[in-house]
Amino acid sequence: MTITWQGPTATATLHWRVSYRDHDAGTRHHTGRLHTPEAVYFWHGYYLAKPWARDLEITERVRVEHIIPISLADIPGPGEPTPLPALTGGDAVRRFFRFDGRGPAAMGTGDDVRRTLRRMAEHGTRTDRLQLLDVRLETGRRNITLNEVSA
């Protein structure tokens, strides 16, 4: 899978999960996030050797985060929804706003940004020094074979 967002503000993370189906109960279990190929090889080998584990799968997960500094003039107007960016190769995309270093972790609309600024100003926060950020996340996942696991 390739997500094609590029630029100085884009960061990508990659991790894998190994999962198996329990032979008796039939429920699917999976590891936490595995960040190295060695960890994937270890857990795949571990479950492969267990007689109670069947239907092993490896899932590759990619997340690209694009953070763009913007001004208040760049947010959607009152009552307007926040348009989502187009997918560039992943499964899902999210978009939200936040301030660099203060305030809520995510504000979904321009109205949320204006409301947060108003509340912060009412509590004495200097809002003229806050940098507004447009955060766009694209995530994707796919099942792969052990031979496809790469650094």
Map out the domains of the chain as residue ranges: 10-62+140-148, 65-139
pTM value is: 0.77
Q: Is the pLDDT of residue 59 over 70?
A: yes
Highest mean pLDDT out of 11-25, 90-104, 105-119: 105-119
Q: Over range 91-118, report the average pLDDT.
A: 93
Confidence band for 40, pLDDT divided at 50, 70 and 90 = very high
Cα separation, 18 vs 60, whole angstroms: 9
Which residues is 70 bridged to in the sheet?
132
Cα separation, 127 vs 4, whole angstroms: 34
Alpha-carbon torsion 37, 41, 43, 48, what sign? positive
